[in-house]
Chain A
């Protein structure tokens, strides 16, 4: 397949965001971005070994295509749209540390959401942390039980991303074995009638 027509297909697919079973049936490489759009491309598999170089190759080809065309003032809208489409790949921030903490939502307040965070799986250590409700805008904390809290840290900066945890968080970690029955008749529930020495 000629490269220009492959590129046209990529751009067409990625801009329309359509997901059809025909498109998935015979791909050499399928790329899906975080928005759920995918593109099947022979160019990517032929010309680049790593994902990053694939992306830069794609941008390069796209730029070449744009350069080859003489833009008129009427085309300016389309040109800007094309430029901004790939911005998410260009500006990768470099974080010094990434933590992915599993959590269970325990209460939702008017401004904050309280989460039981599993700090250490081995020692079963939990911390109760409150997060601004704004962070949960996309995951509806009232109907979500488990979440993944991704914390990215670098000098002078922290970023928190929340993801729905269904299928990711192991619910067994949050099951507490409270053996209250074994305390029955142990005398611990007897009322104290006098001060003990």
Chain B
């Protein structure tokens, strides 16, 4: 049974770094050496961003005046081990930025991941199964033959927000219509299957961020994903 991490995004957000667009070229220039390619967007504005693209490893890092972003796909555990791309270059870039005079402080961290898991059931069976698992009441009076269905669970308190959304996975469209998309769909393998999809979002107000913080978030999200798969019994 296929199981994939279709895409994920980590955002470490910091106070607006006013001098970023003037200073990042000198500061982050050395990282161009190890990137496959780079892209600069919103050039010559305060919001200028540099995208370090690592195509063969399936991720990119985007540095801007208010956040540092890791956008990737594939097995999350590949980003949590020693000397992984999370440590070098992501944490190395964050450490470099944070030593600058104009850098204020880290405000919060956001992690979003989209998972899909294959089921051998038919589309109709998957939709029916999902309804039976999650809804106690009959929903046929709302619509007798739903073509798609989803559930979203949100937990929010003063410094943390967790959102878990899940529903049937009815094809590649269930991945490409999301707010974050795979970096390179071709390397994800066959996505043309039926099953279930889970979107898990983790947001927390923090003032520090390191590799261990990332590991904790990934472990948390991975546990939630396992619970979701257990609920739909894939």
| A residues with CB within 8 A of B | 24-27, 29-34, 45, 49-52, 89, 92-102, 119-121, 148, 150, 152, 163-164, 166-168, 170
Contact = CB atoms under 8 A, between A and B. Distances in A.
List the 6 shortest-distance A-B pairs measured between CB atoms, nearest first.
A167-B30, A100-B88, A99-B83, A30-B40, A98-B57, A94-B187
Given A34-B37, A101-B83, A166 B30 contact: yes
A30 B39 contact: yes
Interface residues of B, number: 41
Interface string B17-51: 00000000000011111111111110110000001
Given A51-B55, A92-B187, A166-B30, 11 more contacts: A29-B41, A30-B39, A32-B40, A52-B55, A94-B58, A100-B83, A101-B88, A102-B88, A167-B30, A168-B88, A168-B92
Q: Is the interface of B mostly helix, strand, loop or mixed?
A: mixed
Interface in B87-109: 87-89, 92, 95
Interface of B: 29-41, 43-44, 51, 53-58, 60, 75, 78, 81-85, 87-89, 92, 95, 181, 183-187
B92 A50 contact: no
Contact of A119 (B38, B82, B186, B187): B82
A50 B59 CA distance: 12
A152 B37 contact: no
B85 A98 contact: yes
Given A29-B41, A100-B89, A150 B55 contact: no
